[in-house]
Chains A and B, each alone.
Chain A
Amino acid sequence: RKEVEQDPGPFNVPEGATVAFNCTYSNSASQSFFWYRQDCRKEPKLLMSVYSSGNEDGRFTAQLNRASQYISLLIRDSKLSDSATYLCVVNQPLYNAGNMLTFGGGTRLMVKP
């Protein structure tokens, strides 16, 4: 089983739609959670952190359910420029070297006119 699992998609949505991505993680000792965005043929970049109480950043809302080991990202009023791959990222402890970020395989979003 992968440590961080995501539906690879693609999710094809029209402009203005609301779309949600989900992610599950296997290590219950994981401490921090994030969403990164990766544009085609570019490097990943931090989109937002995910807090236990849920958090918003403009049109983006992130939620965390520690009991279910589940993370979500909601995008409202989607724009063409939101087309990208969204990577779920988990900071989890390692037995010998502190903590480390582990990336999910990514969910691809395509927003169409």
Chain B
Amino acid sequence: DAGVIQSPRHEVTEMGQEVTLRCKPISGHDYLFWYRQTMMRGLELLIYFNNNVPIDDSGMPEDRFSAKMPNASFSTLKIQPSEPRDSAVYFCASSFLATSETQYFGPGTRLLVL
């Protein structure tokens, strides 16, 4: 199994630009999570999907952030327009159950907004 795949691994962009992060969950997993990690705030849940449907997006910081899951094997997290305070590592994770202790994380996307 290839595990959770994220792209790009690194992204450097300028303030105001649109950023799109991509995730392919493990095949057969029906939950997908997007997290953001910073030194100041740690690992924060942004949004999660069950069977491609967004269930809880209360962690999405503001309207500049949006996430979609058009099918079971692909999800995107978009930031438009990006700001320097969005600089962080963004992780995607998947699991069989929302309550499963074993959430499998992707390698993350390191985003730097200048």
Contact = CB atoms under 8 A, between A and B. Distances in A.
A91 B101 contact: yes
Given A105-B42, A106-B42, A98 B99 contact: yes
Q: Which DSSP category, helix, strand, loop or mixed, fits chain A's interface? A: strand
Contacts of A34: 101
B45 A100 contact: yes
Given A43-B106, A94-B56, A100-B56, A87 B101 contact: no
A97 interface: yes
Nearest to A98: B98
A46 B55 contact: no
B48 A100 contact: yes
Interface residues of B, number: 17
B45 A104 contact: no
Interface in B92-113: 98-99, 101-103, 105-108
B34 interface: no
Contacts of A44: 43, 91, 105
Among A49, A89, A99, A103, the most chain B Cβ lie within 10 Å of the Cβ of A103
Contact of B56 (A89, A97, A103, A105): A97
B107 A32 contact: no
Contact of B45 (A99, A102, A106): A102
Nearest to B110: A41
A43 B102 contact: no
A94 B56 CA distance: 9
Interface of A: 31-32, 34, 42-46, 49, 87, 89, 91, 94, 96-106
8 residue pairs, one from A and one from B, having the closest CB atoms? A43-B105, A105-B42, A103-B43, A97-B56, A99-B99, A34-B101, A97-B55, A46-B102
Interface of B: 35, 42-43, 45, 48, 55-56, 91, 98-99, 101-103, 105-108
